[in-house]
Amino acid sequence: MEAITKKSLIMRIGIFAILIAMVLSMGMPIKSYAEPYVTENDGSITIHKYLLADGTSPSGTKSTGQTGDAVNLPAGATGLDGIKFTVTQVDTTSGGSKIFAFEGTDYYKTTGGYEQTLTTANGGLAETNDIPLGIYLVKEEPSDLVSSPVAPFLVWIPTTVQGSGEDTLIYDINVYPKNSKALDIGKVAVPGGQAITNATTGLPVNIGDEVDFYITASIPADIDATGVTYSLWDDYPAGMDMKAGSVVVKAGAGTNASDFGTTLIPNTDYTVSDTPASLGVNGGGKLIVSLTDAGRAKVSGMVKIQVKLTTTILASIPMNQRETNEATIDYTDKNGDTKKIDTDNPGTDSPDVFNGGFSLLKKDANGGAALQGAKFKLVKRLTSDFNADLATAKNGGNPAADATTDGYYQLSTNANHNAANALTVTSDSNGYAAFKNIPYGSTGDAYETAHTDFWLVEIKSPNGYRLLDSPVKITVNKDSYNESTGLTVPNSKGFEFPLTGGMGTLIFVVGGIVLIGLAGVVIVSSRRKSGSAAR
């Protein structure tokens, strides 16, 4: 057996010590190499939801070392509260149904992992606290506050931040999701053929009128992205009929009418479909203007799109009823989410057309019996003094004098309201008479309190009755017309000239007439005799 020398013993002890150190090193971290790597057990995600003055928000996903920092925000940015985000922990190995794919990798919801829905508040902030290290899917939920949700994105905790010298890991992550402000849509009515500067949200109409409607809607920021669809709908009610070939589509900055400088080409940039709700005289239907791929590319970068269409007012339009003409944006964004935004505020962003009337009952002032044959004319009321109104009309005022009815002037300057078209009505056997298709709304807006005042003038009374002594003030509004009832207009019987005295008087009168006749005969006979004697 080889003797162990002092030198070999020292060598063997050294080798053994090295082996022990190697074994121990496998079970414990070496501080000098561990410090640049993971040193914490949890982290956080803070979402900053901001909109700029032009409706966009800062792009990209930024990170800082402190939770809640809002850095590098452009001037004019404001926080957007009320937006919901769902934060879900995911990984690549859980199996089951994938919930997200990113850069060719499928991600699955982590079994038992963190998931929470956050809502931005206090200036557009939503924050998680002390969540486990891992990968998180952040998904913005649809909202009416923005045009469409931002595309889902991934956040890694920790995240590497590259520095000028050494890279570092941060655990509190700030993200700034980008999207555009909410889409909006508005609609106005304009008398047919007039400039859009005469637009109103409520328009009195007559049968046969043409009314131009202008729909103005936002163009989403992702209008030309793959998968996006964009249409504008117009639901026009019964009582209106679309005029063929009247659709015109423009786009531009949209600040005023002159800013729609780009005219889109039908069947190239957009298609039109018109689905009538019913055929024939009732009108009504849905007009759909859909942008094609070429049209979406053409309007990309623009702010607003405008659709003009023309309708004709039919005889079937209801009396004393506001007919709201709504429009809708039908938009599917690049994420596949579909939204429909309506003009659902009558008198604000959804125009009304309205058609009024007035009805009356002609009755005996004493017994209340219905009177047939009374003829009336409804004339425009300018002041509280009828004679002054009449003088104004006769002196060339507006409206002009109507010579066909003894100086009473026309109801309006509209071609459908002239002396030959329903300016006068005659009471029927039930004493009923009605004026139809009379515009109401003194300001041109069909609110419940709006009205127009007229003078009701009786121009022919029933047999045996006298005309009304003076005109009657009439208010035409949403309640002034009824199919069978109306304002009661009484008439009194005319003056009679009865015989005075009894039958005795009549005998004397007849006797006097006979005596006068006899006297005439005597005179004639006497003259004849005188003539014979002269011969």
**Which residue type, as a one-letter code, is found at position 138?**
V
> Using one digit for the tens of pLDDT, what is the confidence trace for 322-376?
777 789 999 998 878 888 888 876 666 778 787 778 889 999 988 889 999 999 8
pLDDT at 132: 93
Return the pLDDT at 22: 44
- Residue 450 — pLDDT band, cuts 50, 70, 90? low
Which residues are bridge partners to 438 per DSSP?
Answer: 356
Check residue 265 and give its pLDDT.
97
CATH 2.60.40.740 residue ranges in the chain?
185-350
β-pairing verdict for 352-364 and 248-252: unpaired
Most confident of 19-33, 121-135, 250-264, 328-342: 121-135
Range(s) within the chain of domains with CATH label 2.60.40.10: 42-175, 355-491
Which pLDDT score is estimated for 390? 66
Q: Is residue 186's pLDDT more than 50? A: yes
Given a cut of 80, whether residue 13 has pLDDT beyond it is no
Give the residue, 347 or 312, on which the prediction is more confident. Answer: 312
Residue 195 pLDDT: 87
* Res 228 pLDDT > 60: yes
pTM value is: 0.61
Helical segments of 287-435, H only: 293-299, 386-394
Residue 318: phi and psi, rounded to 5, are: -65, 150
Most confidently modeled range among 14-18, 287-291, 373-377, 466-470: 287-291
pLDDT bracket for residue 398 (50, 70, 90): very low
Distances (CA, A) of 525 to 486, 513, 519, 528, 529: 70, 19, 10, 5, 6
Q: Which fold has domain 355-491?
A: Immunoglobulin-like (2.60.40)
Count Cα neighbours of 41 within 13 Å in the Cβ-side half-sphere.
0
Tokens of 333: 């964004």
Summarize the confidence of residues 45-73 as an average pLDDT.
58
Encode pLDDT of 477-512 as tens digits: 777 888 878 889 998 886 554 444 444 444 544 555
Domain 42-175 has CATH 3.40.50.460: no
Could you confirm whether domain 185-350 is CATH 3.40.50.970? no
Task: State the average pLDDT over residues 256-269.
Answer: 88
Considering only CA atoms, which of 354, 502, 522, 509 is closest in space to residue 442? 354
Q: Where are the beta strands (DSSP E) in 292-413?
A: 304-313, 321-324, 326-332, 338-342, 352-364, 375-380
Answer whether residue 425 shows pLDDT above 80. Answer: yes
pLDDT of residue 405: 41
Task: Give the residue, 154 or 484, on which the prediction is more confident.
Answer: 154
**Ramachandran area for residue 510 (φ above 0: left; ψ -120 to 50: alpha; else beta):** alpha
- φ/ψ of 399, rounded to 5, equals -75, 160
